[in-house]
Structure formats: structure tokens, C-alpha cells
Amino acid sequence: MVTLAAVIPAAISWLGAQASSCWNNITAMLICLLLLALLLDYVMCRKRSSRFPPGPTPLPFFGNLLQLNLRQPHSTFQNVAKKYGPVSSLQVGWQSYVLLSGYKIIKEALGQKAEDFADRPSVPLLRLVGCSKNSGGILMAPFSSGWKEQRRFCVSTLKSLGMGKKTLEKKVSEETRYLCSEFKSQEGLPFNPQNLVNNAVANIICILTLGDRFEYSDKTFLKLMHLSEELMKALSGTLPQMMAIAPWLSYLPGPHHKLTSFSNDVSAILREIVNDHKNTRDPTFTRDLIDAFLEEMEKVKGNPDSSFNEQNLIKIVHEWLTAGTETTSSTILWGLLKMVLHPEIQKRVHEEIEKVLGKDKAPMMEDQANLPYTNAVIHEIQRCADIAPLAFPYITHQDTEIDKFVIPKETIVFNHLSSVLKDETMWEKPYKFYPEHFLDSKGQFVKQEAFLPFSAGRHACPGESLARMELFIFFTSLLQHFTFHIPENHPRPKEDRVFALTVAPLPFDICAIPR
């Protein structure tokens, strides 16, 4: 007769054998999966042409992700280029990226071979703010007939509305008076100029796209400015930076999803403004870009393939408001910071402005030729500010040869614009604030071919002439009316760079003393 005492040990022994067998099977399966994954990793990432650009050795699965400085990605690109050359590569997961650096290489890519670097990839980080290959607009839209149509429309319409003309110069000059009045109201006490500068620059974009400027206290305007500021803050976080190169992170929950909310709120405000334009539009008089776009929508009504639709309109206005404000505003803030850090340069600017313009004549673009030192300082501010160190990425539509390397079809390519503005072969003192970069031996202004703050190629900034006008008139007007200095008992402002989509200075306080 079998007793319980005899059965239990036998049962335990049998279960142990089964567990051991099961564990061995699981272990074997995991080992097989790991080997399969390693093989797939090799096939996906390492079997490259001998002419593929060199780069740091990637780790399995991670690639070079752990080697990236996600807070300052352009510094990683700089280090890679220094070690592996101006045409180099990085790998994140199974995605390869090619990095182009230096004036010679980027000129070749965006000049002679611009067609090969004209298309845009899908960028999950930008998709969260509504910028994707299928969302319309011109910033990240694919290189297609629709994109070409919208870019031509924007440039021609903004020109007809005054971009690059006297009519808009007067509007910019008028806005500088509002800005100078706000600076004067600070009564020489310490203040942070960021919001005031943002408001002034944004108003120029509002005049062109929405038809009029806003009072700085207007609720709708303040909400637009607040949402734009929050959008840029959210973009500067570590996780959003990682998403730019690790797309799968966009699907995880987290604060980065606020980007979508901020973008949707801006779009809702713009949709209300567009609806108001529909009700008040006069077909015989075009007030702004919205009116012009609505007119084009009327012409193509019934054509579902046209790029002139309301979604595209809102996207384009959103892009102009965000990009057109942030870039110019950040550059002016860098300019004010440079002036308080270099009072000897500020003094020379004051002397030239006083000699040419005096205290009362409002600066206009025609005065630029007579203010060579001031013009050189503005250009050097742009060079040193380097607010867009990385151009938005491109994707090759065919195998492309750059230098002695071959970049395969559908490879994502970054142009490191910072390496052009600080190319040691093109600039005498690339890492110093040195206005003489733009002056000849006689003190006259000279252009520099390596000055590419607005990028180049098919996606060069369409608002370059507008930005140049704003920078000259705003900066010259502010220096005409004020002397700027560091507040007493305040530490010297830092020149640390805050990287989001553009590079802004850290918040700082200044004193503006009327001249």
C-alpha cells in the first residue's frame, strides 16, 4: 500500500525535474531570441558599404544613443565631426543618421546637390506639435508640388504685403516706438526684456498674417504669446530631445504630450481668427496672408487635391507666428546680451548711430550702408548667437555622393549649421565676438560667404529678408535711444545656451538708460 509519505517526495522530485526542464527550455529560447536579435541588429545596422560615412562604434540595439548629449545635441555632432570628419554618422537603435559639417561640405550638399537634400523625414518630436509630412504647412512638408505651391504663395504674398518694401519698414519702425516706450517706462530699473521683445517681433508677423498689430495687453495676443512660450519650454526638455532621435519614445505617456495640447490651443485661436476673416473679407482688398489664402481657396473650390485648404492655412499661419517670432526675438535678445557684456563695442555703435542718424531720425534700411560698424555688429550677433545650430533634417531620395562618401537612399541627414558659422578655416576668430569679421581694412562692411544663419538650399528660410529688416531696425533703434548695462550688484549674465528648436539665452536682467 502506497503511503502519503512515499508519494510526496516522488511528486516533489517529478515537479522539480519538470521545472528544470521548463527552465532550460525558457533559457534556450531566450538565448535563441537574443542571438536572432543580434543577427538582425547586424543585418540592419552594420552591413554597410565601405564608403558609408564613418562614426563611433554603435552598441547592439542602442546604437550611439548612450553617447549623445541630449540637452545639447549639436555639441555631440561637433565632437563626432572633430573625430571622424565633416561627413560622419551616428546610429540610434536601427536608424542611421549622417552628419554634414563645415562650410565646404554643406555648401556642396545644399548648393550643387540641393535636389538630393530637399525632402523631409517624419520627426515624432515635431509630429506632436502638428508638424509632419502629411499635416501641410511648409516647415516639414515633403518636397512635393503642394510644398512648392505653398512656399511660392507665401513668399509672393508676403512681398505683396510689404516684405522687403518701404511700407513694411514703416510698420517695423512704428513697432520700435512702442517697444522703446515700454523700455523707457522701466525708468532705468532692472528688467527682463524677453517678453517685450517677443511682443514687438510677434506683432510684425501678426501684421502680415493676421492683418494688424495687437496691444501688448490684448488678451488674445497674450494667450498666443503664453502658449508659444510654453511650447518652446516643453520642447527644451530632455525627453522631447530624445524623441528627435528615438521615435518610439513618443508613444510613452509623459509631459511631452503637453506639446500637442499647446499646439491645438494655438490652432483653435487661429481658427477663430480665420472664421472672422471669412465674415469680413473684401475680395477687392487683401488685408493679410489669411485673406490671400482664402482667395486662393475660392479659386480651387471643389478640387480635393489642392493644397489650398483650411487645415493648411492654419498650419502655415501657425508656423510663421512661431518660427518668425522665436528666431528674430532670440537674436535680438542675444544682441542686447552682447552689448552689456561688451560695453566698448556698444560705445562704438552709439557713436556711429549718433553721427549718421542723430537722436531723432528713425533708422530705415537705406541707412544700413552708412552704418557699416552697426551692420557688422548685427551680423556678428547672428553668427555668435547661432540660434539654429542644426537645420531641420532632410532625407535623401536617392543614393548621393558627398566628398568621397556615399549616403544611401532614405538616410536622414543633419546639416550642422553651427560648424559653418564657426568654421575655423573661414573665420579669423570663430569663438569670439568680433565684429571685424564683417569689416574690411577701411572699416567698410563686407559680406562673408560662410555666413549662413538662414540655412541654404530648397528649405532656406523664406522670411530671410523680413528677418534682416527687423534685426536692423529694431537693434539700431534700441541702441539709438538707450545705453544698456548690467544692473548694479547683479552677477555678470551667463552666455549659456538653452537648446530647443532654436537656441535662446538664459533669462537675464538689464538696465536701459535713455540717451
pLDDT at 1: 47
Q: How many CA atoms does the CB half-sphere of 389 hold within 13 Å?
A: 19
On whether the CB atoms of residues 376 and 439 are closer than 8 A, the answer is: yes
Alpha-carbon distance of 255 to 363, in angstroms, equals 45
Q: How many CA atoms does the CB half-sphere of 433 hold within 13 Å?
A: 20
What values do phi and psi take at 494, rounded to 5?
-85, 155
On whether the CB atoms of residues 101 and 374 are closer than 8 A, the answer is: no
Closest to 322 (Cα-Cα) out of 238, 223, 389, 229: 229
Query: Which cell numbers in the block locate residue 275?
Result: 472664421
DSSP-derived letter for residue 117 is: G
pLDDT at 250: 58
Q: Residue 394 forms beta bridges with which residues?
A: 413
pLDDT at 351: 97
All structural domains of the chain with their residue ranges: 65-514
Alpha-carbon distance of 112 to 413, in angstroms, equals 16
User: Where do runs of H (alpha helix) occur along 430-514?
Assistant: 464-481
Total number of residues shown for the chain: 515
Give the position of cell 550688484: 489
Handedness of CA 258, 262, 268, 274 (dihedral sign): negative
Which pairing describes strands 394-395 and 405-407: parallel, antiparallel, or unpaired? unpaired
What values do phi and psi take at 88, rounded to 5?
-135, 180
Q: How many CA atoms does the CB half-sphere of 130 hold within 13 Å?
A: 23
Superfamily name with CATH number, domain 65-514: Cytochrome P450 (1.10.630.10)
User: pLDDT tens, 326-352?
Assistant: 899 999 999 999 999 999 999 999 999
Query: Which cell numbers in the block locate residue 7?
Result: 508519494
Residues sharing a CB contact under 8 Å with residue 255, sequence separation 6 or more, in sequence order? 234, 237, 239
Query: Which cell numbers in the block locate residue 436?
Result: 571685424
What is the enclosing helix (H) or strand (E) of 483?
Answer: strand 482-485
Show the CA angle centred on residue 484, arms to residues 481 and 489, nearest 5°. 150
Alpha-carbon distance of 85 to 217, in angstroms, equals 51
What values do phi and psi take at 191, rounded to 5?
-155, 160
What is the enclosing helix (H) or strand (E) of 406?
Answer: strand 405-407
Alpha-carbon distance of 400 to 407, in angstroms, equals 5
Across 257-312, where does the E strand assignment appear?
none
State the pTM of this model.
0.87
pLDDT at 93: 75
Give the position of cell 556642396: 108
- Compute how many other C-beta atoms are within 10 angstroms of the C-beta atom of residue 191: 18
Give the position of cell 563695442: 345
On whether the CB atoms of residues 390 and 419 are closer than 8 A, the answer is: no
Closest to 163 (Cα-Cα) out of 277, 282, 289, 284: 289
Residues sharing a CB contact under 8 Å with residue 214, sequence separation 6 or more, in sequence order? 203, 206, 220, 221
Closest to 197 (Cα-Cα) out of 317, 369, 335: 335
Residue/partner pairs of 23-27 with CB below 8 Å, 24 or more apart: none
Q: Give me the residues of the chain with pLDDT under 70, please.
A: 1-26, 28-30, 32-49, 70-71, 123-136, 235-257, 500
Is residue 62 helix, strand or coil?
coil
User: pLDDT tens, 194-219?
Assistant: 999 999 999 999 999 999 999 999 99
CA of residue 104 relative to chain centroid, distance: 22
Alpha-carbon distance of 27 to 46, in angstroms, equals 27
Show the CA angle centred on residue 85, arms to residues 423 and 117, nearest 5°. 80
